[in-house]
Amino acid sequence: MNKKFSIIAIILSIIALIIAVWAISRLSAPISASKEDTFSKVLKSNNLAVCYVAWPPSVIKDPNTGKLSGFLIDAIEKIAEDAGFKLTYVESTWGGFPADINTGKCDIGVAGFYPLINRSTAVAFTRPFYYAGNNGVVKTGDNRFKTIDDLNRSGIKIAVIQGEFSQIYAKKYLPKAQLLVLDANSDNTAPLVAVTSGQADAGLIMDDVVGSYAKTHPEVKKLFSQPYSVTPISWVTRNNDQQLYNFLTNSINYLEATGDLNALAKKYSSTWYTEKKDYQFLGQ
């Protein structure tokens, strides 16, 4: 019996020794190369995939040819030219761009993206480098609204685009009003067209869009002479793409320092500003 127990003990000792040797070998083995990061792939392929959302005058999509222009498109093309990259554009939506970036449909996002706190859990935003004004239209002759807070009453219908800042703002600060939430893929003038057609009392969108629409549609007027609020504008990468994030941030810094960003904004007659203080606020 003792002999049997001795044999079992020897076997168990051998097994323990084998396990210990295996564990030590695992610890001392060189770490395998991590998965290739996005920026390395961009450098190898010489191609940068860019998600965008049409939002004139920052991102303009020709309805006939699909060709893109606008001052943010010109900016990313200037960056790509200097870096020697080709660009592949992927159309996205305000609510869908985090998923498009994280699933690999594109490498970065270039548009008027707002760095909201909840969105920052999904993607990495560059520091804001512009502020976009927000405004709206009402029917010409409608003088009921002196500040944005005047829209916050029952019986008032406000047209907004799903996922765009105006919808987020109205849902939070104008809860008494009825929101007409338009599809995320709608043209940026859609909330303003809703006022023209009588579907809404007010339509909210970016100040640049409001100004252009009001000039060509005398049946409506700008809601306010100055924006009721402004939103910071950033570009986007995946959270773990540090090298690509650094490249994008450095490129933005360079375009700012050289004056290229301001020159491009002026080229498209944009009312975006580099400092928030350039706006006077109405309401919140």
**CATH number for 202:** 3.40.190.10
Same domain, 145 and 217: yes
pTM of the shown model: 0.74
Q: In the chain, how many domains are there?
A: 2
Same domain, 257 and 122: yes
Same domain, 168 and 213: yes
For the chain, the maximum distance between any two Cα atoms, rounded to a whole number of angstroms, is: 106
DSSP 39-82: HHHHHHHTEEEEEE--BTTTBEE-TTT--EESHHHHHHHHHHHH
Phi first, then psi: give them for residue 13, nearest 5 degrees. Answer: -65, -40
- Average pLDDT by stretches of 10, the chain with 284 residues: 56 56 43 66 96 89 94 96 96 91 96 89 93 94 96 98 92 97 89 98 93 94 92 93 96 94 87 56 42
Residue with tokens 């996922």: 163
Whole-number Å distance between alpha carbons of 236 and 51 = 9
Q: Is the dihedral of CA 149, 154, 155, 160 positive or negative?
A: positive
Whole-number Å distance between alpha carbons of 107 and 242 = 12
Assigned domain for 13 exists? no
Cα Rg of the chain (Å, integer): 27
Assigned domain for 33 exists? no
Same domain, 63 and 151: no
Assigned domain for 190 exists? yes
Pair 71, 33: CB distance under 8 Å: no
Assigned domain for 239 exists? yes
Same domain, 250 and 140: no
Same domain, 49 and 77: yes
Of 229, 247, 265, which residue constitutes the final position of a domain? 229
Whole-number Å distance between alpha carbons of 46 and 86 = 6
**Secondary structure string (H, E, C) spanning 119-141:** HHHCEEECCCCEEEEEEEEEECC
Assigned domain for 75 exists? yes
Assigned domain for 26 exists? no
User: Could you list the residue range(s) of the whole structural domain that residue 161 is in?
Assistant: 132-229
Which residues 6+ apart lie within 8 Å of 11 measured at CB? none
Same domain, 125 and 138: no
Whole-number Å distance between alpha carbons of 48 and 109 = 11
Which residues 6+ apart lie within 8 Å of 169 measured at CB? 134, 204, 229
Same domain, 117 and 105: yes
Same domain, 81 and 212: no
Burial of 17 (0-12, 13-18, 19+ CB in 10 A): exposed
Of 214, 229, 244, which residue constitutes the final position of a domain? 229
pLDDT value of residue 57: 84
Same domain, 240 and 214: no
pLDDT value of residue 2: 53
Same domain, 140 and 123: no
Assigned domain for 14 exists? no
Same domain, 158 and 219: yes
Assigned domain for 279 exists? no
